[in-house]
């Protein structure tokens, strides 16, 4: 809780406010902290009458209230707005603390602001504005203040990314003439004829690697690469700056048996890719898997997600398919005591025979 200066409003201020708050003829009241001998009070130092609406009055009233001699002096001002509430007109409360004002004055005005607002009555104060220059408290500055108050609160990077993804999700199903459709599991992009042909060749065993990419402008999934190749050869085709879908038939030996495992590998280089692209690749993945498994009839053994080609490796695939099992369970062994130390001796009572 901030400290208060203890400075109170004067009787003159009370009278000025009672005449101004409910009056349509007053546009602005300037209030300053005035020292009279040993007494320091909040005093009205300028009252500006209204001659038109807020827009036409505002800057003229401000220029009249703050002369060139007062430009570097702190003050409070209340400006009558055009709106009303149940108690009367709404007012704008302004705290003006110029950059070149005395530091002690700034501190005193800051610690008196809450007292003055209570003295005026917070029910009358609809808006509050701070300023360090004349431009800050001008009519344009007031409009900027209203825009700032109406704007949503600032977002973190994570919140901004989520908002952008949400906006993309809203727009993906616009346009009945487009070829994509929004499903419960994601966004459907059709696979090109060339891509479907290679997927069928993969099923027949003619190739062991098929790589697909999104063509966002045409809203389709196209073939990038295909062939019969080793893990290392296929890894070189995984880009470091773009996302891809890969289908790979991983042939390997396990416990003396030759196995073939069909892997669906979704590679996405994280934050190197634009948010829209990441969102579309993630949304199109499930519908693409439906095409591969249901339409083409390929049984996928394992689905993986990697960042780049360094994770497209024999070791990564093998450990994912056959994770190491822990056979022996470690048991807690009670630590031995210090060497040479014997256990605590037991005290036993001896029966003393009476002498005869």
Whole-number Å distance between alpha carbons of 5 and 166: 49
Rounded CA-CA distance 29/353 in Å is 112
**Would you tell me how many other CB atoms lie within 10 Å of the CB of residue 280?**
22
What percent of the chain clears pLDDT 90, i.e. is strictly above it? 62
175 in the Ramachandran plot: left (φ > 0), alpha (ψ -120 to 50) or beta?
left
- Please report where in the chains the tokens 């009070």 appear, as a residue: 41
DSSP string, 114-138: HHHHHHH-GGGEEEEEEESSTTTTS
Tell if the pTM clears 0.75, that is, is over it. Answer: no
Identify the helix (H) or strand (E) that includes residue 233. Answer: helix 231-235
Task: State residue 174's pLDDT score.
Answer: 41
Can you tell me the distance from the alpha carbon of 117 to that of 85, in angstroms, rounded to the nearest whole number? 17
Length of the chain in terms of residues written: 356
Residue 88 pLDDT grade (very low, low, confident, very high; cuts 50, 70, 90): confident
Q: Is the pLDDT of residue 242 over 50?
A: yes
Q: In 3D, which of 194, 196, 221, 199 has the Cα closest to residue 209? A: 199
More confident residue, 259 or 350: 259
- Over residues 90-111, the pLDDT tens digits come to 999 999 999 999 999 999 999 9
What are the pLDDT digits (tens) for 267-322? 999 777 888 888 899 999 999 999 999 999 999 999 999 998 899 999 999 999 99
3-class state of residue 188 by DSSP: strand
Q: Is the pLDDT of residue 205 over 70?
A: yes
pLDDT per residue over 132-163, tens digit each? 999 999 999 999 999 988 887 777 777 776 77
Instruction: Give the dihedral sign, CA 182/185/190/192.
Output: positive
- List C-alpha distances in Å: 10 to 33, 46, 267: 10, 14, 73
- pLDDT tens-digit profile of 8-51? 989 999 999 988 888 888 999 999 999 887 889 999 999 999 99
At CB < 8 A and 24+ separation, what contacts does 190-194 make? 190/219, 190/220, 190/221, 191/220, 191/221, 191/288, 191/291, 192/220, 192/221, 192/222, 192/223, 194/222, 194/223
In the block, residue with structure tokens 């790589």? 211
DSSP-assigned beta bridge partners for residue 221: 191, 214
């Amino acid at each position: 809780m901030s400290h208060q200066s203890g400075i109170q409003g004067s009787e003159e201020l009370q009278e000025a406010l009672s005449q101004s708050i409910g009056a349509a003829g007053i546009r602005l009241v300037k209030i300053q902290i005035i020292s009279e001998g040993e007494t320091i009070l909040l005093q009205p130092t300028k009252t500006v009458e209204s001659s038109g609406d807020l827009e036409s009055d505002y800057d003229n009233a401000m220029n009249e209230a703050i002369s060139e001699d007062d430009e570097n002096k702190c003050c409070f001002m209340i400006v009558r707005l055009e709106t009303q509430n149940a108690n009367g007109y709404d007012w704008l409360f302004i705290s003006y603390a110029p950059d070149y004002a005395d530091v002690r004055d700034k501190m005193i005005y800051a610690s008196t602001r809450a007292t003055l607002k209570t003295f005026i009555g917070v029910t009358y104060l609809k808006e509050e504005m701070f300023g360090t220059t004349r431009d800050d408290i001008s009519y344009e500055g007031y409009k900027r203040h209203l825009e700032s108050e109406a704007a949503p609160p600032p977002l973190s990077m994570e919140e901004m990314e989520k908002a952008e993804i949400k906006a993309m999700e809203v727009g993906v199903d616009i346009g009945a003439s487009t070829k994509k459709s929004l499903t419960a599991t994601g966004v459907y992009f059709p696979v090109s004829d060339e891509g479907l042909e290679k997927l069928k060749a993969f099923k027949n065993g003619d190739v062991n690697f098929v790589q697909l990419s999104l063509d966002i402008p045409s809203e389709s999934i196209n073939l990038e690469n295909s062939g019969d190749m080793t893990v290392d050869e296929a890894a070189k085709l995984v880009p470091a700056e773009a996302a891809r879908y890969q289908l790979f038939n991983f042939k390997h030996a396990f416990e003396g048996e030759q196995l073939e495992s069909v892997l669906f590998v979704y590679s996405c280089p994280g934050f190197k890719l634009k948010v829209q692209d990441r969102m579309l690749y993630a949304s199109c993945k499930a519908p693409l898997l439906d095409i591969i498994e249901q339409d083409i009839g390929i049984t996928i053994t394992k689905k993986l997600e990697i960042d780049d080609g360094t994770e497209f490796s024999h070791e990564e695939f093998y450990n994912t398919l056959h994770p190491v099992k822990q056979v022996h369970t470690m048991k807690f062994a009670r630590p031995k005591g210090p060497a040479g130390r014997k256990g605590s001796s037991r005290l036993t009572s001896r029966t003393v025979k009476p002498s005869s």
